[in-house]
Amino acid sequence: MNTDNQYLLSLKGITKHFKSLTAVNGVNLDVSSGEKLVIIGPSGSGKSTLLRAINFLEVIDDGHIIFEGKEAGYIRKNGRLHLDKPQVISALRSEIGMVFQHFHLFPHMTVLENVMEGPLTVQKKSREEALEIALAMLAKVGLIDKKGVYPATLSGGQKQRVAIARAIAMKPKLMLFDEPTSALDPELVGEVFETIRSLAVDGMTMIIVTHHMGFARELADRVMFMESGNFLAEGTPQEFFAEGMNNERIRTFLNRIL
């Protein structure tokens, strides 16, 4: 299925089951290039599963993922979806970066080596080019002075900023952030927020799953509320936080976390 599509990413009927649980229930979503989308909702609502599906870390049961106007990631055989070849998925993941709640840095590599790894092994860049990219990305997240140390010596906020540098070293067209500050002490949230804000200012397309309403209020072009595998409401931050309070379910959720 090829399609002329003005969106960077389109999801059509994305469905994911875990045995009898429907984690994502026929979700449709269009994301424009340069858009900052924040998805909020209670734990277990399907937000992280949806992000992992976009990055092909969860194999969907049904639906279409359309990236840059082309169906991506799956081959349909006998009415069932099968993940595409590993090299195809690897190439897609280099264009759809992801930062997780827990940092997933390689502990045996220095900060610099962590950031160089993607350009070297996935994109097959020369060591000199990978080094140049990695140094530029560490400068961007304010950690050039930590290039020679190992992740164990870093604070949680610094580890997350290295994880962001590692993801953007691949020069992705879309960044996914899955609860990027939820594992951090409150005083470290700000430094990660500032790093993500700088990417937003640069025009990076991003989808952020978070319980941190500051992301939604300050960064989002659009806020979506997810529950039970479905999107229940959406709007600009101004619309969402004003009109959402008229929806009893959203009001209860916001009152609990604000």
Which residues neighbour 205 within 8 Å (Cβ) at sequence distance 6 or greater? 8, 9, 31, 32, 33, 34, 35, 36, 173, 174, 175
Q: Which percentage of the chain shows pLDDT scores above 90?
A: 73
Is the model's pTM score more than 0.75?
A: yes
Which domains are seen in the chain, by residue range? 9-257 (3.40.50.300)
Best CA proximity match to 151, nearest among 99, 105, 101, 112:
105
The reported pLDDT for the residue numbered 5 is 59
pLDDT classification of 2: cutoffs 50, 70, 90: very low
Average pLDDT over residues 141-161: 94
Measured CA to CA, the distance from residue 176 to residue 193 in angstroms comes to 14
CB atoms inside a 10 Å sphere around CB 105: 21
Residue 178 CA neighbour count, 13 Å, CB half = 22
**Residue count (the chain):** 258
Does 190 have pLDDT greater than 80?
yes
Question: What number is the average pLDDT over the span 14-34?
Answer: 96
CB burial class (10 A; 0-12, 13-18, 19+) of residue 70?
Answer: exposed
Cβ atoms within 10 Å, residue 232: 15
pLDDT (tens digit per residue) in 98-138: 998 888 899 999 999 999 999 999 889 999 999 999 999 99
